[in-house]
Structures are given as C-alpha cells and as structure tokens.
C-alpha cells in the first residue's frame, strides 16, 4: 500500500510518532523516499509497504494517493487531498 506521510515540523509529538513509525516499519517497507519536505515547516515521506503498517499511521499524517503515483514512485499532482492538507498547513503556519 502506498501513502504519503506529511508532518508539521513544529509539532514535536507528531514528529516523534512519525519517526517511531518509520523506525518500526522501515524493514517491512518496500520504499521510503528521502524527506521531501522543506524541514522548516513540513516533513514529507512517500512510502510503500504493508497495509497493516499504513493503518497504524494516524489519519492526520497520511495521504493515500490514487493513480498519481508513477513507477518511479513520485507523485504527479500529489493528489488533491495531499495538496489541500499541505496548503492548509502552510497557510496556518504563516498566517498572522
């Protein structure tokens, strides 16, 4: 199962949860991208692995891409749900 993990870099609890999940499931994952977020406000990983692993992620952290994944595991258009979540996060972080 493929998913994109998106975590607010300023949320220490979510960061710990994402890192713990990656540590636990990395041996079972077929693919883990480099962190594709900027790091200052968001961390983003694209992963492929067992449904059981993906199901353990908090729903707020995962975006399940549809047909947007290509064979090289990049997202085309990032999926509307992922884009909407990312834009909402950036807006929340940078709004006065």
- Domain count for the chain, please give it: 1
Structure tokens at 71: 């064979």
Residue with tokens 């994952």: 29
Q: Which domain holds residue 23?
A: 2-94
How many residues belong to the chain? 96
Q: Read off the pTM.
A: 0.67
Q: What is the pLDDT of residues 30-82, one digit of tens each?
A: 999 999 988 888 999 999 999 999 999 988 888 866 434 443 334 434 444 56
Cα–Cα distance for residue pair 88/82, rounded to 1 Å:
10
- pLDDT value at residue 69: 46
- pLDDT value at residue 26: 96
- Cross-strand partners of 43: 7
Q: How many CB atoms lie within 10 A of CB 15?
A: 14
CB 48 within 8 A of CB 14: no
Checking if the pLDDT of 89 tops 90, the result is no
């Amino acid at each position: 199962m493929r998913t994109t993990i998106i975590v607010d870099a300023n949320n220490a609890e979510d960061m710990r949860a994402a890192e713990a999940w990656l540590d636990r499931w990395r041996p079972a994952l077929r693919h883990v991208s480099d962190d594709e977020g900027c790091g200052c406000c968001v961390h983003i990983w694209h992963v492929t692995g067992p449904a059981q692993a993906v199901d353990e992620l908090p729903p707020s952290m995962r975006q399940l891409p549809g047909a947007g994944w290509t064979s090289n595991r990049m997202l085309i258009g990032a999926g509307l749900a992922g884009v909407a979540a990312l834009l909402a996060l950036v807006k929340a972080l940078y709004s006065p």
